[in-house]
Amino acid sequence: MLTAAFPGSFDPPTLGHLNIVERAARIFDELLVVVAENRQKKYLFSAEERVALVSSLVEPWKNVSVALCDSLIVDFIKKRNIRLLLRGVRGIGDFSYEFELSMMNKALTSSIETLFMTTDPEYFVLRSSAIKELASFHGDVSTMVPPLVAKALRDKYK
Ligand code: ADP
């Protein structure tokens, strides 16, 4: 059984995240999407809201599940016997950050391997922070996020 964990803030989930989920679900037997809650970070959506959004969106994939993590990701997945950590990369900027993160995770837990999946070209501009900014000005985000998320953003910025 090949199981991978795909961690992130998902604040909110975008079509870019779902593209990674869709492609990873075809590669791995099981995929666990890990919604991270970091007390140092400020989120627009609460942990419960992010888990609810991601859970609804991954419903079509029977081998994809969702968990909330408020501790170190490497500890969290190791406890679940998952050795593969999947991260999406949009470009060099993402890669240099992700590379450093993977080095830190490797130093913390050498048995865990980080795998990078490049974005499909049509999603490379999608970034949760930019989408939130656009939504805060009531801009059209319908080509960037699923309808469920577009509605959640409208409700937040009403
Ligand atoms: P974090 O706050 O940990 O960066 P994000 O929710 O922003 O979490 O992203 C989770 C993962 O999804 C990260 O690996 C990120 O690089 C990846 N990701 C985000 N948007 C895209 C996209 N448009 N295409 C590919 N990967 C993406």
Residue environment code for 46-75, b if the CB has 16+ CB neighbours within 10 A, otherwise e: ebebbbbbbeebbeebeebebbebeeebbe
Nearest protein CA to atom 3 of ligand 1, as residue = 8
pLDDT in tens, 56-65: 999 999 999 9
End-to-end CA distance of the chain: 45
Q: Which residues are catalytic?
A: 17, 41, 90, 128
pLDDT in tens, 78-134: 999 999 999 999 989 899 999 999 999 999 999 999 999 999 999 989 999 999 999
The whole-angstrom separation of Cα 7 and Cα 23 is: 15
Ligand 1 within 6 A of 102 CB?
A: no
Ligand 1 within 6 A of 12 CB?
A: no
Nearest protein CA to atom 9 of ligand 1, as residue = 8
- 60: helix, strand or coil: coil
Q: What is the reported pTM?
A: 0.95
CATH topology of domain 3-124: Rossmann fold (3.40.50)
